[in-house]
Amino acid sequence: MVKSSEPMFNVPAVVLALLGLFVAIHVVRTYALTPDQDLQLLELFAFIPARYDANLLLGGVGAEIWTFVTYALIHASATHLAMNTVWFVPFGSAVARRFGAVRFLLFFSVTAAAGALAHLIAHPGEVFPVIGASASISGMMAGATRFAFQPKGPLATWQAHNERSYHIPAVPLSEALRDARVVIFLVVWFGLNFLFGFVGFPMTGTGQVVAWEAHIGGFVAGLFLFSLFDPVPTEYPPEDGTTREEESVGG
Protein backbone atom coordinates (compact mmCIF):
# COMPACT_ATOMS: atom_id res chain seq x y z
CA MET A 1 0.00 0.00 0.00
CA VAL A 2 1.35 3.42 -0.93
CA LYS A 3 0.73 6.16 1.59
CA SER A 4 -0.72 9.39 0.30
CA SER A 5 1.72 11.48 2.30
CA GLU A 6 5.01 10.79 4.01
CA PRO A 7 5.62 11.31 7.75
CA MET A 8 8.46 13.75 6.99
CA PHE A 9 5.80 16.16 5.71
CA ASN A 10 3.33 15.34 8.49
CA VAL A 11 4.68 17.51 11.29
CA PRO A 12 3.57 16.17 14.72
CA ALA A 13 0.75 18.10 16.33
CA VAL A 14 2.84 19.09 19.36
CA VAL A 15 5.45 20.68 17.08
CA LEU A 16 2.76 22.56 15.16
CA ALA A 17 1.21 23.69 18.44
CA LEU A 18 4.50 25.14 19.67
CA LEU A 19 5.12 26.83 16.33
CA GLY A 20 1.62 28.31 16.50
CA LEU A 21 2.38 29.62 19.99
CA PHE A 22 5.67 31.15 18.80
CA VAL A 23 3.87 32.91 15.96
CA ALA A 24 0.95 34.08 18.13
CA ILE A 25 3.29 35.60 20.71
CA HIS A 26 5.31 37.36 18.03
CA VAL A 27 2.19 38.74 16.33
CA VAL A 28 0.86 40.07 19.64
CA ARG A 29 4.21 41.71 20.46
CA THR A 30 4.48 43.24 17.00
CA TYR A 31 0.94 44.45 16.38
CA ALA A 32 -0.96 44.57 19.68
CA LEU A 33 1.47 45.84 22.32
CA THR A 34 2.91 49.29 22.77
CA PRO A 35 6.70 49.56 23.26
CA ASP A 36 6.20 49.98 27.00
CA GLN A 37 3.91 46.95 27.17
CA ASP A 38 6.40 44.90 25.17
CA LEU A 39 9.15 45.90 27.59
CA GLN A 40 6.96 44.77 30.47
CA LEU A 41 6.39 41.45 28.71
CA LEU A 42 10.13 40.95 28.33
CA GLU A 43 10.69 41.81 31.98
CA LEU A 44 8.19 39.12 32.94
CA PHE A 45 9.01 36.34 30.48
CA ALA A 46 12.47 36.85 28.90
CA PHE A 47 15.55 35.39 30.55
CA ILE A 48 17.59 38.23 32.08
CA PRO A 49 20.73 37.29 34.06
CA ALA A 50 20.52 40.55 36.01
CA ARG A 51 17.24 39.27 37.44
CA TYR A 52 19.30 37.13 39.83
CA ASP A 53 21.16 40.13 41.23
CA ALA A 54 19.84 40.65 44.76
CA ASN A 55 20.02 44.41 44.27
CA LEU A 56 17.59 44.38 41.35
CA LEU A 57 13.89 43.55 41.22
CA LEU A 58 12.83 42.42 37.74
CA GLY A 59 9.51 40.65 37.46
CA GLY A 60 9.41 39.22 40.98
CA VAL A 61 10.26 35.80 42.39
CA GLY A 62 7.96 33.94 40.01
CA ALA A 63 9.75 35.32 36.97
CA GLU A 64 13.03 34.04 38.40
CA ILE A 65 11.62 30.53 37.95
CA TRP A 66 9.39 30.48 34.86
CA THR A 67 11.70 32.57 32.65
CA PHE A 68 14.09 29.59 32.47
CA VAL A 69 11.51 28.22 30.02
CA THR A 70 9.27 31.06 28.85
CA TYR A 71 12.11 32.93 27.13
CA ALA A 72 12.16 30.12 24.56
CA LEU A 73 8.66 31.07 23.39
CA ILE A 74 9.61 34.64 22.42
CA HIS A 75 11.53 35.69 19.30
CA ALA A 76 13.28 38.91 18.42
CA SER A 77 12.03 39.28 14.86
CA ALA A 78 10.26 37.51 12.03
CA THR A 79 13.69 36.51 10.68
CA HIS A 80 14.67 35.02 14.03
CA LEU A 81 11.40 33.08 14.18
CA ALA A 82 11.74 31.88 10.58
CA MET A 83 15.31 30.64 11.12
CA ASN A 84 14.35 28.76 14.26
CA THR A 85 11.35 27.25 12.47
CA VAL A 86 13.60 25.88 9.71
CA TRP A 87 15.60 23.90 12.28
CA PHE A 88 12.78 23.16 14.71
CA VAL A 89 10.52 21.42 12.19
CA PRO A 90 12.89 18.59 11.13
CA PHE A 91 14.71 17.97 14.42
CA GLY A 92 11.73 18.67 16.66
CA SER A 93 9.55 16.40 14.53
CA ALA A 94 12.04 13.54 14.73
CA VAL A 95 12.21 13.74 18.52
CA ALA A 96 8.45 14.29 18.90
CA ARG A 97 7.67 11.17 16.85
CA ARG A 98 9.89 9.19 19.19
CA PHE A 99 8.97 10.76 22.54
CA GLY A 100 5.28 11.61 22.19
CA ALA A 101 3.81 14.98 23.16
CA VAL A 102 4.28 14.96 26.95
CA ARG A 103 7.89 13.75 26.94
CA PHE A 104 8.65 16.11 24.07
CA LEU A 105 7.35 19.14 25.97
CA LEU A 106 9.32 18.14 29.06
CA PHE A 107 12.45 17.68 26.94
CA PHE A 108 11.85 21.10 25.34
CA SER A 109 11.55 22.69 28.79
CA VAL A 110 14.60 20.99 30.29
CA THR A 111 16.86 21.87 27.38
CA ALA A 112 15.58 25.46 27.44
CA ALA A 113 16.37 25.67 31.16
CA ALA A 114 19.83 24.20 30.58
CA GLY A 115 20.50 26.80 27.91
CA ALA A 116 19.39 29.61 30.22
CA LEU A 117 21.58 28.27 33.01
CA ALA A 118 24.62 28.11 30.72
CA HIS A 119 24.02 31.71 29.65
CA LEU A 120 23.59 32.81 33.26
CA ILE A 121 26.92 31.21 34.22
CA ALA A 122 28.67 32.88 31.27
CA HIS A 123 27.02 36.30 31.71
CA PRO A 124 26.19 36.91 35.38
CA GLY A 125 24.49 40.23 35.97
CA GLU A 126 23.91 40.98 32.28
CA VAL A 127 20.88 43.19 31.67
CA PHE A 128 20.24 42.20 28.05
CA PRO A 129 17.32 39.74 27.72
CA VAL A 130 17.77 36.35 26.08
CA ILE A 131 14.88 35.11 23.94
CA GLY A 132 14.29 32.39 21.37
CA ALA A 133 13.91 28.63 21.15
CA SER A 134 17.46 28.01 19.89
CA ALA A 135 18.65 26.27 23.08
CA SER A 136 15.77 23.79 22.93
CA ILE A 137 16.27 23.29 19.20
CA SER A 138 19.93 22.56 19.94
CA GLY A 139 18.74 19.99 22.46
CA MET A 140 16.53 18.42 19.77
CA MET A 141 19.52 18.22 17.43
CA ALA A 142 21.56 16.49 20.11
CA GLY A 143 18.72 14.11 20.93
CA ALA A 144 18.30 13.21 17.26
CA THR A 145 21.96 12.20 17.00
CA ARG A 146 21.29 9.45 19.55
CA PHE A 147 19.17 7.48 17.05
CA ALA A 148 19.06 9.14 13.63
CA PHE A 149 22.48 7.93 12.40
CA GLN A 150 22.03 4.29 13.39
CA PRO A 151 21.41 1.47 10.91
CA LYS A 152 17.71 1.51 10.01
CA GLY A 153 17.50 5.02 11.48
CA PRO A 154 15.82 7.92 9.66
CA LEU A 155 19.11 9.35 8.34
CA ALA A 156 21.34 6.32 7.90
CA THR A 157 19.33 4.87 5.01
CA TRP A 158 17.02 7.84 4.40
CA GLN A 159 13.98 6.09 5.83
CA ALA A 160 11.94 9.18 6.60
CA HIS A 161 9.02 7.32 5.01
CA ASN A 162 9.29 4.54 7.61
CA GLU A 163 7.76 5.40 10.99
CA ARG A 164 9.64 2.50 12.61
CA SER A 165 12.93 4.22 11.79
CA TYR A 166 12.15 6.80 14.50
CA HIS A 167 11.73 4.09 17.14
CA ILE A 168 14.91 2.06 16.83
CA PRO A 169 16.78 1.50 20.11
CA ALA A 170 19.32 4.20 20.91
CA VAL A 171 22.89 3.03 21.43
CA PRO A 172 24.73 4.17 24.58
CA LEU A 173 26.30 7.60 24.29
CA SER A 174 29.80 6.14 24.53
CA GLU A 175 29.06 4.00 21.48
CA ALA A 176 27.38 6.83 19.57
CA LEU A 177 30.49 8.95 20.03
CA ARG A 178 32.51 6.31 18.17
CA ASP A 179 30.36 6.79 15.06
CA ALA A 180 32.29 8.97 12.61
CA ARG A 181 29.09 10.59 11.32
CA VAL A 182 28.04 11.62 14.81
CA VAL A 183 31.51 12.96 15.57
CA ILE A 184 31.55 15.01 12.36
CA PHE A 185 28.12 16.41 13.18
CA LEU A 186 29.27 17.37 16.68
CA VAL A 187 32.49 18.98 15.45
CA VAL A 188 30.67 21.05 12.83
CA TRP A 189 27.89 22.04 15.25
CA PHE A 190 30.23 23.10 18.06
CA GLY A 191 32.57 24.79 15.58
CA LEU A 192 29.78 26.94 14.17
CA ASN A 193 28.60 27.96 17.62
CA PHE A 194 32.07 28.87 18.81
CA LEU A 195 32.40 30.90 15.61
CA PHE A 196 29.20 32.75 16.51
CA GLY A 197 30.71 33.48 19.92
CA PHE A 198 34.10 34.73 18.79
CA VAL A 199 33.06 36.51 15.58
CA GLY A 200 29.69 37.69 16.87
CA PHE A 201 27.51 37.18 13.81
CA PRO A 202 24.09 38.84 14.21
CA MET A 203 21.52 36.20 13.26
CA THR A 204 18.18 37.50 14.48
CA GLY A 205 17.58 40.29 12.01
CA THR A 206 17.73 42.89 14.80
CA GLY A 207 21.48 43.35 15.08
CA GLN A 208 21.62 41.33 18.31
CA VAL A 209 24.31 38.69 18.63
CA VAL A 210 23.68 34.98 19.11
CA ALA A 211 23.51 33.71 22.70
CA TRP A 212 25.76 30.82 21.75
CA GLU A 213 26.38 29.70 25.33
CA ALA A 214 22.67 28.93 25.62
CA HIS A 215 22.93 26.82 22.47
CA ILE A 216 25.78 24.86 24.03
CA GLY A 217 23.86 24.36 27.27
CA GLY A 218 20.77 23.09 25.47
CA PHE A 219 22.78 20.80 23.22
CA VAL A 220 24.80 19.23 26.05
CA ALA A 221 21.61 18.68 28.06
CA GLY A 222 19.90 17.05 25.09
CA LEU A 223 22.89 14.81 24.46
CA PHE A 224 23.31 13.57 28.02
CA LEU A 225 19.69 13.61 29.25
CA PHE A 226 18.17 11.98 26.17
CA SER A 227 18.05 8.53 27.79
CA LEU A 228 16.00 9.84 30.73
CA PHE A 229 13.18 10.78 28.35
CA ASP A 230 13.50 8.04 25.75
CA PRO A 231 10.51 5.64 25.89
CA VAL A 232 11.95 3.21 23.32
CA PRO A 233 13.17 -0.10 24.79
CA THR A 234 16.82 -1.02 24.41
CA GLU A 235 16.02 -3.93 22.07
CA TYR A 236 14.44 -3.56 18.64
CA PRO A 237 10.89 -5.00 18.55
CA PRO A 238 10.10 -7.79 16.07
CA GLU A 239 8.66 -6.81 12.69
CA ASP A 240 5.27 -8.39 13.49
CA GLY A 241 4.78 -6.13 16.49
CA THR A 242 4.92 -8.88 19.16
CA THR A 243 7.13 -8.43 22.19
CA ARG A 244 10.01 -10.71 23.09
CA GLU A 245 7.99 -12.02 26.03
CA GLU A 246 5.02 -12.82 23.75
CA GLU A 247 7.31 -14.71 21.41
CA SER A 248 8.76 -16.82 24.21
CA VAL A 249 5.33 -17.72 25.57
CA GLY A 250 3.85 -18.50 22.20
CA GLY A 251 6.88 -20.46 21.05
Residue spans of the domains in the chain: they are 9-231
Name the pTM for this structure. 0.84
| Residue 244 pLDDT greater than 70, yes or no | no
Mean pLDDT of the chain: 84
- Residue 9 is predicted with a pLDDT of 53
User: Higher model confidence: residue 229 or residue 53?
Assistant: 229
Residue 242 CB-half CA count within 13 A? 9
| Residue 187 pLDDT greater than 80, yes or no | yes
The whole-angstrom separation of Cα 232 and Cα 223 is: 16
- Assign domain 9-231 to a CATH class: mainly alpha
pLDDT in tens, 11-63: 999 999 999 999 999 999 999 999 999 999 999 999 999 988 766 656 567 88
The whole-angstrom separation of Cα 226 and Cα 234 is: 13
